[in-house]
Structure 1
Amino acid sequence: MTDLTRMTATDLAGLVASGETSAVEVTRAHLDRIAAVDDRVHAFLHVDTEGALAAARAVDERRAAGEQLGPLAGVPVAVKDVLTTKGVPTTVGSKILEGWRPPYDATIVQRLRAAGTVMLGKTNMDEFAMGSSTEYSAYGPTHNPWDTDRIPGGSGGGSAAALAAYEAPLAIGSDTGGSIRQPGAVTGTVGAKPTYGGTSRYGLVAFSSSLDTPGPCARTVLDAALLHQVIGGHDPRDSTSIPQPVPDVVAAAKLGATGDLTGVKLGIVREFTGEGAEPGVMAAFRESVDTLAKLGAEIVEVSCPHFRYALPAYYLIAPSECSSNLARFDGVRFGLRVGDDGNRSLEEVMSLTREAGFGAEVKRRIMVGTYALSSGYYDAYYGQAQKVRTLITRDFTSAFEQVDALISPTTPFVAFPIGARTADPYQMYLADLFTIPTNLYGGPGISVPCGLSEGLPVGLQVMAPTMADDRMYRVAAALESVVGTFTPPAL
């Protein structure tokens, strides 16, 4: 039989359903792969070997009993360590939660379990999802399987690297400013950010509550759509959850795979075609635009003039919300506690705990956000940023009156060497230049591999209107039908 770890989630599910292999065999193959290569990749923070095998055995037993199971039953999945998992460590890449085992599952994790997927473990990430390279994890960086001296993107680099290294066929990420799409682009995998509110945030450790969006990661567009269908939908426990069903993203991916985009109008964002991107990235993007046109899409240029202000607006809004959300980590209720020797005040214990538990990037963003929200500066900074957010939303609305979806490069550059940008936060923040507007708007976006530059993957981003997630899957699958999937050099 073909190496199980190299197969798509769709094919694995078919083999398990037909009895040609078992969920246990599939799970063992991936656990063996993790054991063989993860010392070089560091995609995982915790591998739940016993839990995964128990879940796989349960799938096999239910199948043997004649139960009708879901389309992804028996397929392994890796979960970004930002989602709570009952009894399984959830650290959010931070020392302040080292060893914490939550008493409950996030809604998305519950849905994964109910669908019969097999959770392999928790993947590495930038601390509290604050970063663009997965170098800000308190537990060390993740390495890109294409070149282990380079970053896998962030903040969800662990999930993307697990896919590219064939340690898992599916993964879950979260996207606040591009943290699903950007790692997908630089690892040659598929990363989809659903419409904000289309996937539940219940059990997602909050960074920026008005932006955080969990979503699917995979090696093919159809696999991502299947996972999206499992995890999406209304959740009454999440006050921001949209009370509507998920669009039929699976049907859209299958339609796109036929390679026919006749009648689809795609917009190129004028502000994303100038300075800021490497020549090789733009060359791969332009070639992909030509491919989409040959598939029948009409390509037009649209202007979104306020997109150029998205980066500074984001870096006021997100830190402001994080400074509020992270106030709960006080060394009193859960997690790390430092200096509680009976001789210090509560304020001293809280200060010592946060000093020891938070990394430099988290502290930087807390301070920026606290300043932006402080008396006398709120209107000048946070208030102005929210006004820019409204203007960006209007740009999207206007653009979608002209086209069905927007396309752009996903990232301005390919994966850069580990350590190359950590000394300059602004250069690091530029990694999310093309992805941030979608988060501020709240619409869906997907990154799909579109070519290589300097032997490293380049991603194309498709952005769609809110609750029109199916459109992005159709376009992405059409491009994939021509470009194909990408395989990194052997580890």
Structure 2
Amino acid sequence: MSGTEHGLVGRTAAELATSIASGEVSAVEVTQAHLDRVDAVDGPAESGVHAFLHVDADGALAAAADVDARRAAGERLGPLAGVPLALKDVITTSDMPTTAGSRILDGWRPPYDATIARRLREADVVVLGKTNMDEFAMGSSTENSAFGPTRNPWDMTRIPGGSGGGSAASLAAYEAPLAIGTDTGGSIRQPAALTGTVGVKPTYGGVSRYGLIACASSLDQAGPCARTVLDAALLHSVVAGHDALDATSIDQPVPDVVGAARRGAEGDLTGLRVGVVKEFGGEGYQAGVEARFNDAVAQLSKLGAEVVEVSCPNFVYALPAYYLILPSEVSSNLARFDAMRYGLRVGDDGTRSAEEVMNRTRGAGFGAEAKRRIMLGTYALSSGYYDAYYGQAQKVRTLVARDFEAAFGRVDVLVSPTTPTTAFPIGERVDDPLAMYRNDLCTIPSNLAGNASASFPCGLADEDGLPVGLHVMAPVLADDRLYRVGAALEQAYAGSWGGLLLNQAPELKESAS
């Protein structure tokens, strides 16, 4: 299906916003078109894409109607007014359930909106519903969702990445033009790479975490997902900025990401220094992934960038350090789900103690991966092991940050493949946690250091015809550099394979149509 054949759902968010603002089409028409697309292809986990856990059709249409009424009344609205969006189900919303992909929160309706949800509503963005995810954002495939896996629209037998596979798949299936994800170790960028979409992890603290159900508080960061670089930039500008409700929020101006995307689309990267990370490549990397990555680097050079190799020796220790720091924070954050305050409660018949009810509830409510990480983290933080494990991991984190600092003293951005392989078959790595964890090899350092990074489509692997992502890393608060590079690459590829990734909906299997 081409973008033209798709009608309204084939347009970019920027195009939709312009059409709505001009009166060519109403926000209600745009919203209804996307809701119809969701009805057509999303379906249950057994057969459909299963990008959504909850679709708020009535709420979305009411919000769209309000946009149309206010525009007719002459009100000045935001740049994305009336454009639909899919919201990852780890972000609290007062008018919809928020489950974090877990049975322990099945049906829970928060009493408040997250700051990011509030800013979307204030910008008149239409929230279609909540998207599927690995439980509490723990996973790289969306197979750890308590409500069944999401499928990759490029190949319905394969994973869409994780933990934000639902948000990425909703874009690739043309169910929404925009989405919000969260990224703890690559959960925005890795699904973007595997679905041929754009995913940006802003500088840590650049987008408020207030109302984002915590996985690992020092690593989590919400960010924009889209099918084009400009769309991601427009969404970034809406949700970013200081928030007094978030103690880790940065009180600095938001970088001009929209202007950077527009400048990058001019196709001139003269003066930009690009560092290729030496440690990310070779054994364990799929040949087709490396080929497309090398093509993208060559393209950046053609656009005027100076390309050099950069060594970041401590990046090889980032993965083990991350899988000590993250579980440690998980064990602390998930202690609040105790069956006493909210969420699931099992065995409370009046005959059992609070401790037994808590034990039964956590046993029934948490999935295998959540339990694994809680136990790992509790052990790492225990007396006698804290310094040997958690303390050492934090020292490695400092070394990774120093590697970034040294590299950015030489270059403006760093690049690598986003993932070592393309999307793997559903079920292939479920019983091999270490193989699953290695999928985040290239993305984890940016979470440890807190700098900005993004994944942009850079072609299809020869072996399987599946999308490959270029991972771009920039210094703290230099998020605009990501958009300049991504937009230049997008423009350079337009009309070749880029036409497939950016303008053509992947063929969905008959069972999902």
Amino acid at match of 1:194: P
**1:175 matched residue in structure 2:** 183
Distance 2:459 2:373 in 1: 34
Matched residue count? 491
The C-alpha deviation readout for 1:400-419, integer Å capped at 9, x for no partner, is 00000001100000000000
Match of 1:226 in 2: 234
Is residue 113 of structure 2 the alignment partner of residue 105 of structure 1?
A: yes
Shift of 1:274: 2.6
Distance 2:259 2:215 in 1: 33
5 Å matches for 1:310-459? 310-453=318-461, 454-459=464-469
CA distance in 2, matches of 1:461, 1:221: 14
| Separation of aligned partners in 2, 1:384 and 1:481 | 44
User: What's the counterpart of residue 197 of structure 1?
Assistant: 205
Query: Aligned match of 1:24 in 5, 25, 28?
Result: 28
Partners in 1 of 2:79 and 2:247 — Cα distance?
29
Distance 2:159 2:121 in 1: 31
1:160 correspondence with 2:168: yes
Alpha-carbon separation, structure 2, partners of 1:137 and 1:273: 30
Q: Given residue 17 of structure 1, which amino acid in structure 2 is its aligned partner?
A: A
Residue of structure 1 equivalent to 2:484: 474
Q: Distance in 2 between matches of 1:86 and 1:99?
A: 12
| Code of the aligned partner of 1:475 | V
Shift of 1:483: 1.9
Tell whether 2:314 aligns with 1:306: yes
Query: Partners in 2 of 1:322 and 1:245 — Cα distance?
Result: 31
Quick check: 2:173–2:506 contact (8 Å CA) kept in 1?
Answer: no
**Per-residue deviation, residues 288-334 of structure 1 (Å, max 9, x unmatched):** 11000000000001110000000000000000000000000000100
Provide the rounded CA distance (Å) in 1 between the counterparts of 2:410 and 2:330: 35
Partner of 2:511 in structure 1?
none
Q: For residues 449 and 486 of structure 2, what CA distance do their matches in structure 1 show?
A: 20
3-state DSSP class of the match of 1:216?
strand
Percentage of identical aligned residues: 72
14, 18, 43: which one pairs with 1:14?
Answer: 18
What is the letter of the counterpart of residue 119 of structure 1? V
- Tell me how far 1:90 sits from its aligned partner: 0.3
Which residue of the partner structure matches residue 119 of structure 1? 127
- The equivalent of 1:57 in structure 2 is 65
Paired residue secondary structure (2:182): strand
Question: Does residue 251 of the first structure (1) align with residue 255 of the second (2)?
Answer: no
Q: 1:245 offset after TM fit, Å?
A: 1.6
Letter in 1 for 2:23: G
Q: Which one of 6, 28, 38 corresponds to residue 34 of structure 1? A: 38
Q: Offset at 1:277? A: 1.0
Give the conservation status (yes or no) of the 8 Å contact 2:197–2:226: yes
- TM-score, structure 2 as length reference: 0.95
Name the structure 2 match of 1:490.
507
Q: Secondary structure at the match of 2:486?
A: helix
Worse-superposed segment, 481-490 or 280-289: 481-490
Q: What amino acid maps onto 1:34 in structure 2? A: V
Q: Quick one: distance in 2 between partners of 1:276 and 1:376?
A: 35
TM-score (norm 1): 0.99
Counterpart secondary structure, 2:315: helix
C-alpha distance in structure 2 between counterparts of 1:490 and 1:142, whole Å: 16
CA separation in 1, counterparts of 2:176 and 2:316? Answer: 36
Please tell me the residue identity of whatever aligns with 2:467: P
Q: 1:269 to 1:75 in 2, by over 3 A?
A: same
Tell me, what secondary structure is at the counterpart of 2:279?
Answer: helix
The residue identity in structure 2 corresponding to 1:471 is: R
Secondary structure in structure 2 of the residue aligned to 1:41:
coil
Q: Structure 1: which 5+ runs fail to align?
A: none
* Shift, 1:273, TM fit: 2.6
The structural deviation recorded for 1:488 is 4.5
Cα RMSD after superposing both structures: 0.8
Is 1:266 equivalent to 2:266 in the alignment? no
Superposition misfits of 4+ residues, deviation over 6 angstroms: none
1:394 to partner: Cα distance: 0.1
Cα deviation code 1:200-252 (max 9, x no counterpart) = 00000000000000000000000000000000000000000000121000000
The equivalent residue for 1:463 is 473
Q: Deviations over 1:249-283 (max 9, x none)?
A: 00000111111000000000010133221111000
Structural mapping, 1:72-91, within 5 Å = 72-91=80-99
User: Is the alpha carbon distance of 1:488 and 1:28 closer, same or farther for their aligned partners in structure 2, counting shifts above 3 Å?
Assistant: closer
For residues 36 and 391 of structure 2, what CA distance do their matches in structure 1 show? 51
What is the alpha-carbon distance in structure 2 between the residues aligned to residue 354 and residue 50 of structure 1?
Answer: 34
2:426 corresponds to which letter in structure 1? I
CA distance in 1 between partners of 2:162 and 2:346 (Å): 29
Which of the residues 226, 240, 249 maps onto 1:241?
Answer: 249
Following the alignment from structure 1 to structure 2, what is the Cα–Cα distance between the partners of residues 50 and 287? 46
Amino acid at match of 1:82: V
Which deviations, in whole Å up to 9, do the C-alpha atoms of 1:405-457 show, x marking residues without a partner?
A: 00110000000000000010000001100000000010011100001112000
